[in-house]
Amino acid sequence: MPDFIPAKFCVGCGYPIILITLGRILEQKQLSKKAVMGLDIGCSLLAIDALPINIFHTHHGRVTPTMLGFKRARPNSLCFGLTGDGGAYAIGWQSLFHSALRDEPITVIVVNNTVYAMTGGQTAPTTLPRQKTDTNPNGYEGATFFGPELLRHVAHKDAYLVRTATNSPKEIAVYLEKAIATQQAGHFSLVEILSFCPTNWKTIGKATMDYVEDLKKVYKVGEI
């Protein structure tokens, strides 16, 4: 397990925190050999060399169906889908919703930075009211998307749905462990992680932390 992630992500990005945390858990639990991680296209694609496990790219919005196909073919594997909030909740929502409904035993990690970050910060389903983006330069006026809460309505009672943030790495570790245990028990799991995007938020230092804390006021962290 490397002590650092190759510097592909922007300075201050939250992804490396998530990936290092996941990598340590897999190493500690000796699950690296069984782990397979599919990457959605978006900032998630940059994780291709991040961990010493099998990793492959899929298409934008398609990581969930790809991983359920892999999991059903090889049930003893540990399947992760790493995706952004746009890939998960907009273009990939139909597949994500039905995978939760069918209780597919895979773990989807949704990195929520409230924008399409790779393409320069356009409005996502998770964009907050009044937030200014490239596609809502005068401020977003729509409603806000609560992925895990929506899935709770259709998911199996033993499916694991949770939200945390990149300024709480210990909590990320606890929740990822529970998500893995849920997959091993044969159920669907989704971990949404509110993640730093200083590039698109146009923040530095403490302002980035404050931004996440503000997000937490809207997107409640904890098990759902």
Residues that bind other proteins (CB under 8 A): 33-34, 36, 38, 41, 45, 48-49, 52-59, 62, 64-74, 77, 94-95, 97-98
Determine the Cα–Cα distance for residues 30 and 14; give it in Å rounded to an integer. 25
Nearer to other proteins, 45 or 209 (CB): 45
Q: How far is the CB of 208 from other proteins (least distance, A)?
A: 26
State phi, psi for 155 to the nearest 5 degrees: -75, 155
Nearer to other proteins, 41 or 179 (CB): 41
Nearer to other proteins, 106 or 162 (CB): 106
Nearer to other proteins, 36 or 155 (CB): 36
Determine the Cα–Cα distance for residues 94 and 33; give it in Å rounded to an integer. 30
Q: How far is the CB of 53 from other proteins (least distance, A)?
A: 6
Q: How far is the CB of 121 from other proteins (least distance, A)?
A: 20
Residue by residue, what is the 3-state secondary structure of the chain? CCCCCCCCCCCCCCHHHHHHHHHHHHHHCCCCCCEEEEECCCHHHHHHHCCCCEEEECCCCCHHHHHHHHHHHCCCCEEEEEEEHHHHHHHCHHHHHHHHHCCCCCEEEEEECCEECCCCCEECCCCCCCCCECCECCCCCCCCCCHHHHHHCCCCCCCEEEEEECCCHHHHHHHHHHHHHHHHCCCCEEEEEECCCHHHHCCCCHHHHHHHHHHHHHCCCEEC
Nearer to other proteins, 13 or 51 (CB): 51
Q: How far is the CB of 49 from other proteins (least distance, A)?
A: 5
Q: How far is the CB of 5 from other proteins (least distance, A)?
A: 13
Nearer to other proteins, 56 or 119 (CB): 56
Q: How far is the CB of 185 from other proteins (least distance, A)?
A: 20
